[in-house]
Copies of this chain bind each other. A is one copy, B any other.
């Protein structure tokens, strides 16, 4: 077997030159990105910019999962899609954009919703997951699956003029290891009452607000892939507050967490058998629209 003398193609040195010359990335970091695979769950307001910047940076494999089709009311914030692609599946529309931005990235489409039955097989082959979804039920499902599969998780959310960002399960140590990063259930052991949950459809959303959170997810993803983990923190954003950003120190893993502690009740069997009903758990007001 002949060894290649250059670890990157000539065109890659050119394309990623502005990252390669930074000591924070360098050739080592670029190779880590090239060998990494990231799953983006949801290509809406968060997933669109997150996917664009991860594809731009040269993450080797990107999976995109979403069951929705592009609507005109998405376009003010979901900037990967376009007017002529209204009606197309969001996954397909995102593929058009991302492959034309960077043909070197291997894209895997998953044009359906994530469910408890499909979560483990869908997520198991990726190194890192981005939660860009929009319901409490999907957030618990994705976090639980990340714990079961030992994947770090970059989670963001936005509504109206507010946004939130947190890196979970980083480092992704086995359940019961208190040195692992906290999971979504450590921070939110119980789901919010359904009447307190407001979607972007009902509450509205300003495009650059969710855009900022999505770009920050891409940044945190690059940091997870190229750096050592930092202590857990929550970044909260509010467009009309002064200062707009605030960083909060978070707890470590909860000793009795249902998902990531040694007494965890969330298991792969419980998940795939359907005995964990996330829609029921979150008590959706309108279960048809949830997850």
Set of chain B residues within 8 Å of A216, measured between Cβ atoms: 208, 212
CB of B72 within 8 A of CB of A15, answer yes
- Bound form: Cα–Cα A38–B215 in Å: 23
Given contacts A56-B79, A75-B56, A245-B244, contact A208 B218 (CB under 8 A): yes
In whole angstroms, how far apart are the Cα atoms of A161 and B102 in the complex? Answer: 22
Q: How far is the CA of A116 from the CA of B201 in the complex (A)?
A: 46
List CB contacts (< 8 Å) of A166-191 with chain B.
none
Count of identical protomers in the assembly: 2
A15 to chain B, nearest CB (A): 5
Interface presence of A243 (CB below 8 A): yes
Selecting from A18-26, A120-128, A277-285, the interface stretch reads A18-26
Cα-based distance from A164 to B32 in the complex (angstroms): 28
A235 within 8 Å of B by Cβ?
yes
Q: Is the CB of A76 within 8 A of B57?
A: yes
Residues of B within 8 A of A16 (CB): 73, 76
Q: What residue of chain B has the Cβ atom nearest to residue A100's Cβ?
A: B82
| B residues in contact with A208, CB < 8 Å | 53, 57, 215-216, 218-219, 222
Known: A19-B76, A56-B76, A82-B101. A239 touches B215 (CB 8 A): no
Total residues of chain A contacting the partner, CB 8 A? 65
Question: Per-residue 0/1 for A17-41: is the Cβ within 8 Å of any B Cβ (1 yes, 0 no)?
Answer: 1111110110000000000000000
Residues on B with C-beta less than 8 A from A101 are 75, 79, 81-83
A159 to chain B, nearest CB (A): 10
Residues 121-171 of A at the B interface (beta carbon under 8 Å)? 160-161
Interface centre among A53, A81, A160, A240 (most CB of B within 10 A): A53
Q: How far is the CB of A216 from chain B (nearest CB, A)?
A: 6
Contact status B18-A49, CB under 8 Å? no
Contact across chains for B73 and A53 when beta carbons are under 8 A apart: no
Please give me the residue from chain B that is nearest to A79 by CB atom: B52
Asked if A47 is an interface residue, CB under 8 A from chain B, the answer is: no
Q: Given A245-B243, A245-B245, A53–B72 Cβ distance below 8 Å? A: no
Proximity bits, A49-64, B CB within 8 Å = 1, else 0: 1001100111000000
**Can you report 29 A-B residue pairs in the complex whose CB atoms are below 8 A from each other?**
A15-B72, A16-B76, A18-B76, A18-B77, A18-B201, A18-B205, A19-B76, A19-B205, A19-B206, A20-B204, A21-B202, A22-B160, A22-B204, A22-B205, A22-B206, A25-B204, A53-B207, A56-B75, A56-B79, A57-B206, A82-B100, A84-B100, A207-B218, A208-B218, A208-B219, A211-B215, A212-B212, A227-B240, A233-B242
